[in-house]
Amino acid sequence: MPAPKKALRRTLSVTSAALTALAVLSPAALAAPDPSKSPTPTPPASMSTMGGARLGKPGTQVDLAGGAPVLPKDLTARSWIVADAESGDVLAAHNAHWRLAPASTLKMLFADTLLPKWPKTTQHKVEVSDLAGIGAGSSLVGVKEEETYTVHDLWLGVFLRSGNDAVHVLSAMNGGVDRTVADMNEHAEELQALDTNVVSPDGYDAPHQVSSAYDLTLFARSGLQKKDFREYASTVSAKFPGQTEKDKKGKTTRNSFEIQNTNRLLSGDSDMDVYPGIAGVKNGNTTNAGATFTGVAERNGKVLLVTVMNPAKDEHNEVYKETARLFDWGFAAAGKTRPVGELVRPKSAAQASPGPDASGEAGGTGKGAAGTAPVAGSTASDGSGGVGIAAGVTAGVLVLLAGGAFLVNRKWPLPDLVRRRTRP
């Protein structure tokens, strides 16, 4: 063979090997931007087209039919999405695939990944090493070293107080932070959430840690398949174990203290009411991410998911106010818009549809949350000390309807997610 052809063949072989090596690397690892370097407020000209070509375009994407209301004019978020939680139809979106810092909304992926690993009654004594590496200024629920907590306690700390200390303890139980980060990235890939690159399991700002409004919505939708996830996400207040104290006689006591959910659409605040029909899911706020939020709400049999990332308007609770306006629009526009994309199913769900007996329960024993539908303000049946499930929600009580046939046109149906009815 002539020498030039040999050289060409060697060049092609090297090129092929290099491309193969790149192909096996995570797309997120290759291309994840660094949000810690003050990202420009201008979205990329080209983004992922997962879920549809229009979702990869910068700017607002909506297709209004006759009689559909216009979108709210006062939206300032860098990225947002409004989707039907059950059909997966995306009703409208704005820079849906823009890869931004996620803050504690990333805890939805953390919970969806780890919730099935242990029964909620599992106990763990916290070691000093469990709390190592928590970022300065992190949100904490008050986990103390050398104290014993149930998994149920720790998940309440994650969902209600966004406790990074609870996240780190659960990560330690899972084999450590590095193992948990790997598990989360693997699960994100299974969900086809390819905008996401996890660096820290609690969502604390870290170089190259990114997600998108689209991916956060996928995490919420997947998590809401699990009964425990739905219960924790809709809990307004709970009792959390305090520190053990010993009196002069050597007698030990351990009291608990109340924790409140920081999701203001669920718990309300001085400048806003509880949003009717709200049932979760997770908020976040860091220096790089700004305010982020994903919420789920139901009205007249329609269940919507809304994600809002980093509103530019610097007002108290702005992320919740813009979310509420998008919920209002979505419920009014349902049936009057043509979808601009869809929430894709996980890889495994695309190959198998859930049967009518799918419970979506989490927890190693399969018991998950309480077996009966909890009423607002009731005491949980596991004796957790009066966990209020959606207590104070004016739209009514959380009802988890059992079983039933799924509608044929639902691409990845929720197990009769949440239904609220007027209080008597």
- The answer, yes or no, to whether residue 372 has pLDDT greater than 70, is no
Q: Output the average pLDDT for the chain.
A: 81
- The answer, yes or no, to whether residue 130 has pLDDT greater than 60, is yes
pLDDT at 34: 83
For the ranges 261-270, 358-367, 398-407, which has the lowest average pLDDT?
A: 398-407
- The answer, yes or no, to whether residue 83 has pLDDT greater than 60, is yes
pLDDT at 33: 83
pLDDT at 23: 37
Please indicate whether residue 414 or residue 202 has the higher confidence score (pLDDT): 202
Mean pLDDT calculated for residue range 370-384: 33
> CB of 94 within 8 A of CB of 61?
yes
Enter the pTM of the model: 0.81
> CB of 323 within 8 A of CB of 295?
yes
pLDDT at 247: 85
pLDDT at 19: 36
Percent of the chain clearing pLDDT 90 (strictly above): 68
pLDDT at 31: 60
The dihedrals phi and psi of 280, each to the nearest 5 degrees, come to 125, -170
Return the structure tokens found at 187: 């699960």
- The answer, yes or no, to whether residue 370 has pLDDT greater than 60, is no
Q: How confident is the model at residue 249 (pLDDT cuts 50, 70, 90)?
A: confident
Could you read off the pLDDT of 160-169 as tens digits, one per residue?
Answer: 999 999 999 9
For the ranges 242-251, 324-333, 338-347, 376-385, which has the lowest average pLDDT?
A: 376-385
- The answer, yes or no, to whether residue 389 has pLDDT greater than 60, is no
The sign of the dihedral angle between the CA atoms of 208, 209, 213, 216 is positive
The dihedrals phi and psi of 232, each to the nearest 5 degrees, come to -65, -40
Rounded Cα distance between 18 and 328, Å, is: 50
The dihedrals phi and psi of 93, each to the nearest 5 degrees, come to -155, 155
Contacts of 42 (CB under 8 A, 6+ apart): none
Element (H, E) at 406: none
pLDDT at 65: 87
Rounded Cα distance between 201 and 261, Å, is: 20
pLDDT at 414: 61
